[in-house]
């Protein structure tokens, strides 16, 4: 595994390759990232993982500062997984040039996380757009846990006719049902139990809603999450996973999207 810290060195390294499989991360690697890397090995292309905690997608400085960091552990894991390249750019390396493509922000960016985290998706798409221009990957592997983010990146790529292809990968969960996330490192044992209870409550509820759509009572469900131990709920909504619009008919394929806090830790998921 080669560790590269600037884009000029990266270009020299990857120019000779016939396409790259790219997994963008902010470090704090977990089973979800491992799954993306293993999935990318099927492409038979060289694998590039990036670690860059992008300050532009945090709307609170405290959230950026408290984001889990463990570079030594991450490097050890990536070596074990035998990836080809680890790209760890500086802020200047990513933001010190003007990209050819302007970002396209679909209207779906105003919903859910976009409502509660002003500027978040602009920050995400800005950095992804820049990574694409630097790396020009053939494939980008993204998990469905951050489904809204995945949807918006796909729309940007389609609109700008970018050749990179998004490979959607299933959400990987801990044994207790909680979606793998770097932020889980900020939870203690009791808080993880709360997150697990919330997951199983919503998972069982969705099965019932599929049979009887009238059971979808958002306000009642929010109250139940507070009773289970959530300190604050940003949103709980049902959306059609293809159109990213609110579900109006019981026969539509939908997921329940939710974001909530346990103390200061914000968790998002969709079921």
- Catalytically annotated residue among 11, 30, 33, 120: 33
Closest CA to 43 of 19, 24, 17: 19
Phi, psi of 22 (to 5 degrees): -120, 130
- Residue 89's Cβ-count burial label (10 Å; 0-12, 13-18, 19+) is buried
Question: Helix crossing, 120-135 with 147-159: angle to 10°?
Answer: 50
Phi, psi of 132 (to 5 degrees): -60, -40
User: Taking a C-beta distance cutoff of 8 angstroms, is the pair 258, 206 a contact?
Assistant: no
DSSP annotation of 173 reads B
Q: Where are the alpha helices (DSSP H) in 81-119?
A: 91-95, 113-116
Q: How far apart are CA 249 and CA 231, in angstroms?
A: 31
Bridge partners, 167 (sequence order): 141
Question: Longest C-alpha distance within the chain, in Å?
Answer: 58
Phi, psi of 121 (to 5 degrees): -75, -30
- Distance from chain centroid for Cα 32: 10
Q: How far apart are CA 192 and CA 269, in angstroms?
A: 14
Verify whether residue 33 is a known catalytic residue.
yes
- Catalytic sites, residue numbers: 33
């Amino acid at each position: 595994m080669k560790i590269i810290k600037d884009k000029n060195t990266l270009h020299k390294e990857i120019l000779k390759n016939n396409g790259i499989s790219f997994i963008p991360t902010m470090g704090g690697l977990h089973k979800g990232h491992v799954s993306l890397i293993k999935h990318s090995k099927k492409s038979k292309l060289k694998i590039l993982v990036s670690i860059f905690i992008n300050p532009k997608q945090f709307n609170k400085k405290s959230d950026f500062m408290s984001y889990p960091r463990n570079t030594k552990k991450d490097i050890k894991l990536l070596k074990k997984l035998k990836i080809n390249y680890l790209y760890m750019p500086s802020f200047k390396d990513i933001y010190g040039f003007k990209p050819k493509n302007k970002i396209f922000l679909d209207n779906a960016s105003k919903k859910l996380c976009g409502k509660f985290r002003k500027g978040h998706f602009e920050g995400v798409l800005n950095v992804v757009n820049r990574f694409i221009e630097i790396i020009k990957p053939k494939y980008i592997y993204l998990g469905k846990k951050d489904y809204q983010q995945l949807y918006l990146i796909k729309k940007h790529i389609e609109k700008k006719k970018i050749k990179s292809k998004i490979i959607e990968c299933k959400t990987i969960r801990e044994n207790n049902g909680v979606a793998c996330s770097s932020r889980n490192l900020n939870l203690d044992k009791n808080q993880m139990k709360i997150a697990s209870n919330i997951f199983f409550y919503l998972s069982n509820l969705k099965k019932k809603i599929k049979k009887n759509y009238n059971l979808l009572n958002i306000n009642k469900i929010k109250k139940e999450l507070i009773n289970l131990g959530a300190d604050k709920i940003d949103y709980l909504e049902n959306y059609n996973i293809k159109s990213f619009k609110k579900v109006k008919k019981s026969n539509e394929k939908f997921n329940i999207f939710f974001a909530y806090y346990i103390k200061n830790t914000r968790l998002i998921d969709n079921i």
